[in-house]
Structure 1
Amino acid sequence: MAILSTDFKDALPRKHGSFRVFARRNPTIVLGATLLILVVLAAILAPAIAGDPMVIAPAQRLARPSPQHWFGTDALGRDVYARTIYGARISLTVGISVAALSIAFGLVIGLVAGYYRRLDGIIMRFMDGAMAIPSILLAISLVAVTRGGVAVIVVAIVVPEVPRVVRLVRSVVLSTRELAFVEAAISSGSRDLKIICRHILPSTIAPLIVQGTIIVAAAILTESALSFLGIGVPPEIPTWGNMVSANRLYLARAPWTIFFPGAFLTVVVLAVNLLGDGLRDRLDPRLARRM
């Protein structure tokens, strides 16, 4: 546990003066984090840096990019720049919410499954069944019985993601449980909750951080695919997926209506993947020693 904790602390720059050294040794972390921070700031400051994404101007429909409309306009005359910036809010909300919920539920279930071997078989059979449910089919089913919306999308993506987190946490718990200091704590009569929280839980932090970045990227892509299919989020709400879907018929005439939301989607997913790959390499003790 002490080794894992030290590696986790060493993965971050300790002093401001050492940031250049950290950036030189971890370019993927710095690049991914920088791109992601810029998109997050743009989404937060959307009311100040972008106009109203819902304003319709028929006289300016399919206008080319200009100083007045940086990314041009769509088939209804709505500003593509404003809709693209506001669309980041939905994608980031879905990605972060799915990652947080998946890790929260998966962590608890994985700790129980890995520590209590009598429950392991039962829990993992349920997880196998949940993992077999495709997100798209689950979203279609939920939309059929509800009004749809962002919450439906989040639930549809969380259900198959939780078992993946459970499997990761369970594997860490099974390996950590066999270590000498954990066996000593069990032999001394310490309570199960104390052993789990003090000795086992810290070992799951680094793998969960990396897994969280993977879930965020996968959730953003899934949300865009579902929005493209018209499932969950109403078409008038700007999201990158439904922007591409609504303007696909105008690709030859107005490619900017699809290019800019697609470019932002690509940048965000790339940034999250770069951050995840960098953290994985940095938090892995075997790889960290080589740097």
Structure 2
Amino acid sequence: MTDNQKKIIFLIQCEDRKGILSATSTWFFQRSYNIVHCQQHTDNIEGRYFMRIELDMHDLKTTRKELEEDFGAFANQYNLTWECHYSDYNARVAIMVSKTSHCLYDLIARKNEGDLKCDISLIISNHPDLEVIANQFRIPFYYLPVTNESKAEQEAKVMTLLKRFDIDLVVLARYMQILSPAFTHQWQGKIINIHHGFLPAFQGANPYRQAYERGVKMIGATAHYASEELDQGPIIDQDVVRVNHELSPNGLRDVGKDVERRVLAKAVQAHLESRIIMFKNRTVVFDVER
């Protein structure tokens, strides 16, 4: 299968039991669908089964709505939880930032180079500093300042913009504000956040200075879905880099920026490619064969 082949992607989970894979693949076979790729995982501790199936979209002989309705009837028989995605759809992404630009630049570059298949529809910030980047790439920029007193009003404006632009995914690319539980609940599974891997050990405005003072030997970053509990959402991707005593706080920060860029991009890519299944506060992230 080539990368530009159009695919229908099903993400399926259910209680683990015999016959699920056979029944599901038979259902698609009976409707003349070619399964071009199938990945599965069994969580023996939870007793949970996860599956990702890619179908050749050329085999679609009905409307997409009819396919989903028919599969929904089949899924009800086996008590499956499922999603259906189409590779020819470009997700509409909103990026939220504050003053730091490294993750924003990286996401835009990867999108422009074709590594991230999406439309970056707008950039929202609580500071005006990064408007120049938005203008450079002709992306609509909205400056929405926020204080403790205006937080609810500011989030309402953000919500209005996300609805107006028909946004599918929100990426917090170093957005240094805490979203309200109401916001994250409404966008559950559709907000990806990045933070330095020192949490919860080094919190606050200058974690790299704290890391320097403690003589850390590893720099890390974590990308996760935002949840109502701060920085406790389902983890999508993590990475670390070994460092030593020779690095200053600024040197640690530079290493950290690079890790943050890579981890956030991998998480966003996995979401856009429909490779993530959530269960409770965990994720199953299927690798892709390239």
Scaled to the shorter chain, the TM-score interval is under 0.3
Normalised to the residue count of structure 1, the TM-score between the two structures is 0.27
Q: Which has the higher strand share?
A: 2
Normalised to the residue count of structure 2, the TM-score between the two structures is 0.27
Q: Which has the higher helix share?
A: 1
The answer to which structure, 1 or 2, has the higher relative contact order (CA under 8 A, 6+ apart) is 1
Q: Based on CA coordinates, which of the two structures has the bigger radius of gyration?
A: 1
